[in-house]
């Protein structure tokens, strides 16, 4: 029976991805900064492991606890929705530490074992905003676009070793905690000129129309891991699919 390790499972996409793989009889190593055992149904195929993807010691301990894995899903991430003028460099570094460097560090940590077995899949969850600019997301978008570039090169590097690297690009997902989690990073005074734009962006996140549901992302990740013929980039959600097709 195969094993998947998923980062960022305390809510949203990561939690649904973990459920999906459990439902399909995989062993699941669900990681989160503050482990909770009440989020997923009890199962002898489930392990909840503490992990902070910005901490090298935490990564080493989590990968050791996971043991051999067939797939790594780098889903952990944080967002920031703010005019660049009001984003501190400390916040910008924090976003890149989690979204970009955390993905790189986790991938680096699992590759030796995958290389030894000459098998495995790395799936990096980024965002459809990397394909089209959105105001007030400059730092977040840059952190995710960097992961796209990283994954594209990594896929070529690992293919001769029998290891796949793929991207899943979710669209707008009002049902997740993205906006809620981004608000604590909205520090500093916002120049008055940006206030209307900030209101428009938050309202736009709640507008009716095609959206991405957590299950869409789980299904896209499942395809990325289990379908040898899957493309390297997989949009997740009706809005993401429409944008990717342009």
Active-site residue list: 140
CA 232 → CA 74, 224, 236, distances in Å?
A: 15, 8, 13
CA 102 → CA 39, 175, 235, distances in Å?
A: 23, 24, 22
Can you tell me which residue has the tokens 């944080």? Answer: 78
Question: CA–CA separation, 207 vs 238, rounded Å?
Answer: 15
CA 62 → CA 31, 33, 48, 59, 74, distances in Å?
A: 8, 11, 10, 5, 13
Question: CA–CA separation, 77 vs 126, rounded Å?
Answer: 9
């Amino acid at each position: 029976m195969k094993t998947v390790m998923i980062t960022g499972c305390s809510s949203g996409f990561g939690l649904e991805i973990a459920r999906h793989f459990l439902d399909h009889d995989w062993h699941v190593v669900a990681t989160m900064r503050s482990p909770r055992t009440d989020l997923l149904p009890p199962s002898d195929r489930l392990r909840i492991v503490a992990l902070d993807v910005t901490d090298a010691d935490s990564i080493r301990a989590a990968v050791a606890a996971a043991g051999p894995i067939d797939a790594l899903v780098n889903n952990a991430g944080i967002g920031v929705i703010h005019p660049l003028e009001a984003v501190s460099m400390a916040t910008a570094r924090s976003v890149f530490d989690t979204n970009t460097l955390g993905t790189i560090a986790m991938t680096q940590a699992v590759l030796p074992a995958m290389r030894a077995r000459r098998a495995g899949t790395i799936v990096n969850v980024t965002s459809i905003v990397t394909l089209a600019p959105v105001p007030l997301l400059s730092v977040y978008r840059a952190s995710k676009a960097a992961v796209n570039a990283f994954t594209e090169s990594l896929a070529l590097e690992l293919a001769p070793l029998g290891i796949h690297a793929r991207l899943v690009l979710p669209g707008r997902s009002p049902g997740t905690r993205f906006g809620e989690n981004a608000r604590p990073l909205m520090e500093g005074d916002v120049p008055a000129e940006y206030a209307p734009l900030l209101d428009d962006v938050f309202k736009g996140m709640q507008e009716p129309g095609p959206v991405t549901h957590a299950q869409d992302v789980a299904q896209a990740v499942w395809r990325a891991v289990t379908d040898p013929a899957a493309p390297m980039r997989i949009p997740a959600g009706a809005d993401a699919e429409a944008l990717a097709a342009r």
